[in-house]
Every structure is written in C-alpha cells, then in structure tokens.
C-alpha cells in the first residue's frame, strides 16, 4: 500500500487490487461544516455542488459526458470535518478519472450564474431534508449535544445562510482551504501509483501556504433535549451522550460495546424493542468521533401512543449495559462481526478507496487490515464494559420529532 506524494503536493495513498475490473480515485479536502463561521454556514457543501458545474477548461456537460461514456460515476459528499470528491471507472481509466478530479477540485469556474442555480438546488435539498423526520431528529440531537458549537450545525447550512452566501465568499473559501496541506488523494483497484503521484503532483504543486483549520473543542455543557411538534405517523426519538474523540484508544472498545447494544439483529435493543415488543421497525446505537469530541446515539421511532413504553425499554437496556456491561459471548459475536464486515468491504475498489482516504485525512495514516484485526482482538471484556460505563452512565440528551402529546 504505497503512501507518499510530491514534497509540495498532497499526500497520495493507493492500494492495487490485481484482479480488479475498476479503479476508484478520490480527493479528500480536510475542511468541512465545522470550519465555517456563522456567516457562511453551508459553504463547504455549497462549494461541493459548484465544483461539478464546470472548470476553467471544461463545461459541466463535457465532464458528465466523459464520465458517462465510461459507464462509471463521479460524485462527492460533505461531512463536518472533510469534503470528498471521487470517481469510479472501469480498469484502465485511472488517467481520465484523476485528470477530471484534479481539474474539478483545483480549477473550478465558480460562475455567478451557476452559483444562483445551485443555490436553488441546495434550498430544495434543505426542503427535502426537512421533510424527513429521521434526519430532523438527528440534527436536533446534534444541536442539543453541541449547543452553540459548529459541530452542532447542519452541514447543509440553513435556508437563511444559503440565501446569504455570495460568490466571492465561496471563491475565498476555496482559495483558502483547497490547498496541498489539506489534500489527500486516495485510489484503489487497477492503480498505477507512480502515475498517480505524477498526475496530482503536477496539478497541485505550489498550492501550499494553507494551514489546517484551527478548531475549538465544544463546551462540556449539554442541553437536556429538544423537540419538534410535527404531524407525523410515528414519533422519532434520538438519545445522545458525549462520546470519544476519533483518535481515542478506547474507541474500538466503545464500538464493539455499542454493537452489542444496538448494532445488529442479535443486539439487545433490536431483540428487546423490535423482536419481543414490536415497538419499532428500526432501532440502533452508533458512535461518531471527531477531532476533539464524539457522540453516541440511540435511535428509534414508534407510534405516538407507545412513546413512554419505548422510552422505558431503551432506558432499561442502556442502564443495564452501563451498570453491568456485556457478556463475553456477546463480545465475541461483535468482534467476529466487525472482522467480517471489514473483509466484505474489501471486495470493491470504492470501499477500499474510502477507507484509504478517510484514514489518511483524519488520522494521518491508514491502519493495515492485519493491525486493525489485531487491535480488535486485543480489546478485553473489561475494556468494553469500562468504556460503556463511562460513556453511558450520564443522563442522555433526548431529541424528539412527532405529534403533540407523543
């Protein structure tokens, strides 16, 4: 798994898959929704949209036609701490995919007319998100767990912020952050690493001088909860606790413990909430880690007249895990499940590229599979139960979306 790059260019990491029929190439930019000040909330996502509207040398149509002619795909997504652009094409298409990505990321046209067009597209995206109570309740939970902090903001921004962002502010955001120190190029599949380094080095050479975003940690204070009355068929509920930073050595133990609590068909919450009582169709527990904070979430949706019953069952299951931990048999199933999911994820070039890009961008290195499996196997039952007790013992913050009185 080569990992290097030109001295004045981005980090480059790749993994060759000898029998692959595709190649996936991506560019990770180390800036996201939390790196915007209030006046330009949503700028990272706005810029993500605009980069596909054309470059100094290619129109959006020509980019789309080149990708469509391969039968592949080109897309992007924005998170709270990074933005990623990627292309997946048949084997032999590395040069084209890389050329398109470096053009899109490095030389966007950012035409005023395109800004206005995409502004309307993003406003419609916000409307669609507002129509989905699953999304809304998680957004409310983030606002309550990270009150007044950029981690608590929605990556898309708000209708007001999207309406207010100007073309010059978006261009300035690109000029400031889309520079080599913040860029990671990752590829997997039918990859020629030396060619990849040559292509991206020539494209981004001399684009330095940008530092990494300076981020402030959120206050330890949480709000007790937030609710939104809406005439939905179900009441959607999300409980939240402060979790672990993404580099916390206990993160693997926490992930395994939460898998036992609500990560699969054999998890405690799935059995208790869905299989035994039929309270919810979907119920899960998850963890998200950021540079300086984390969030643990339990989500479920139920009929409005069963909210109290659901709350009681969830509190009992979480309380039992926090107080008494999980069993050795449950931990063994979770560990084997994690190992299996990692192996299944190695089948496609896209998933391998994503693993490379995310690891290199967020942690500064890609953990080899053998090392990851060894770390999982080194986690003890005491490790898991200690971190579950630490994280889940406090009273959770609750976000709720549904009918009045639910």
What's the pLDDT tens digit per position in 306-348?
999 999 999 999 999 999 999 999 999 999 999 999 888 888 9
Q: What pLDDT is stored for residue 345 in this prediction?
A: 84
| Cα four-point dihedral sign 359, 365, 368, 373 | negative
| 235 and 190 both lie in a single domain | no
Question: In this model, does residue 7 exceed pLDDT 80?
Answer: no
Residue 370 φ/ψ region, left for φ over 0, alpha for ψ in the -120 to 50 degree band, beta for the rest? alpha
CA dist 247 and 238 (Å) reads 25
Q: What is the mean pLDDT of residues 3-12?
A: 71
| 60 and 145 both lie in a single domain | yes
Active site residue 48: yes
Asked if residue 58 is part of any domain, the answer here is: yes
Cα–Cα separations (whole angstroms), residue 103 to 2, 12, 108, 316, 345: 24, 17, 7, 54, 29
Question: In this model, does residue 175 exceed pLDDT 60?
Answer: yes
Q: What pLDDT is stored for residue 128 in this prediction?
A: 96
Band the pLDDT of 39: cuts 50, 70, 90: confident
Question: In this model, does residue 2 exceed pLDDT 90?
Answer: no
Q: Which pair of tokens denotes residue 197?
A: 């380094």
Asked if residue 216 is part of any domain, the answer here is: no
| 158 and 237 both lie in a single domain | no
Asked if residue 188 is part of any domain, the answer here is: yes
Burial class (CB in 10 A: 0-12, 13-18, 19+), 10: buried
| 278 and 179 both lie in a single domain | no
Asked if residue 378 is part of any domain, the answer here is: yes
Asked if residue 215 is part of any domain, the answer here is: no
| 186 and 313 both lie in a single domain | no
Q: What is the mean pLDDT of residues 237-241?
A: 98
Q: From the candidates 48, 118, 154, 330, which is the catalytic residue?
A: 48
CATH number at residue 235: 3.30.830.10
Please enumerate in sequence order all residues whose Cβ is within 8 A of that of 256, keeping only pairs 6 or more positions apart, or say none.
331, 334, 335, 338, 376, 379, 384
Asked if residue 212 is part of any domain, the answer here is: no
Of 204, 234, 268, the position where a domain reaches its end is 204
| 16 and 143 both lie in a single domain | yes
Q: How many domains, the chain?
A: 2
Mean pLDDT value across the chain: 94
Of 204, 236, 257, the position where a domain reaches its end is 204
Q: What is the mean pLDDT of residues 276-287?
A: 97
CA dist 252 and 383 (Å) reads 9
Model confidence pLDDT, tens digit, residues 347-357: 899 999 999 99
Residue 63 domain boundaries: 3-204
Asked if residue 220 is part of any domain, the answer here is: no
């Amino acid at each position: 798994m080569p990992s290097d790059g030109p001295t004045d260019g981005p980090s480059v990491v790749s993994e060759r898959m000898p029998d692959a029929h595709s190649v996936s190439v991506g560019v990770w930019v180390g800036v996201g929704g939390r790196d915007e000040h209030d006046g330009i909330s949503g700028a990272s996502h706005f810029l993500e949209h605009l980069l596909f509207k054309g470059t100094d040398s290619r129109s959006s149509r020509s980019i789309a036609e080149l990708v469509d002619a391969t039968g592949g795909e080109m897309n992007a997504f924005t998170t709270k701490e990074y933005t990623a652009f990627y292309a997946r094409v048949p084997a032999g298409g590395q040069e084209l995919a890389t050329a398109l990505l470096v053009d899109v990321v490095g030389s966007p046209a950012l035409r005023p007319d395109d800004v206005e067009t995409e502004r309307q597209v993003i406003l419609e995206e916000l409307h669609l998100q507002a129509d989905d109570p699953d999304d809304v309740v998680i957004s409310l939970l983030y606002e309550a767990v990270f009150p007044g902090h950029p981690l608590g903001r929605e990556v898309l921004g708000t209708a007001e912020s999207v309406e207010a962002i100007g073309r010059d502010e978006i261009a300035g955001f690109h000029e400031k952050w889309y520079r080599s120190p913040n860029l990671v190029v990752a590829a997997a599949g039918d990859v020629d690493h030396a060619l990849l380094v040559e292509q991206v080095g020539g494209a981004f050479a001399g684009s330095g001088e940008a530092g990494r975003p300076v981020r402030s940690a959120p206050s330890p204070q949480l709000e007790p909860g937030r609710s939104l009355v809406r005439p939905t068929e179900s009441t959607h509920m999300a409980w939240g606790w402060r979790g672990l930073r993404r580099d916390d050595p206990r993160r693997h133990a926490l992930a395994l413990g939460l898998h036992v609590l609500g990560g699969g068909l054999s998890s405690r919450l799935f059995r208790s909430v869905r299989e035994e009582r039929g309270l919810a169709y979907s119920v899960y527990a998850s963890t998200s880690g950021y540079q300086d904070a984390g969030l643990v979430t339990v989500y479920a949706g139920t009929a409005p007249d069963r909210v109290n019953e659901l709350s009681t069952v969830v509190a009992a299951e979480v309380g039992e895990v926090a107080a008494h931990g999980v069993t050795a048999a449950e931990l063994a199933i979770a560990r084997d499940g994690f190992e299996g999911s990692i192996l299944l994820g190695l089948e496609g070039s896209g998933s391998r590229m994503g693993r490379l890009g995310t690891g290199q961008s967020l942690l500064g290195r890609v953990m080899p599979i053998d090392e990851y499996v060894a770390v999982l196997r080194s986690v003890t039952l005491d490790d898991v139960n200690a971190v579950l007790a630490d994280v889940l013992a406090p009273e959770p913050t609750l976000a709720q979306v549904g009918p009045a009185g639910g």
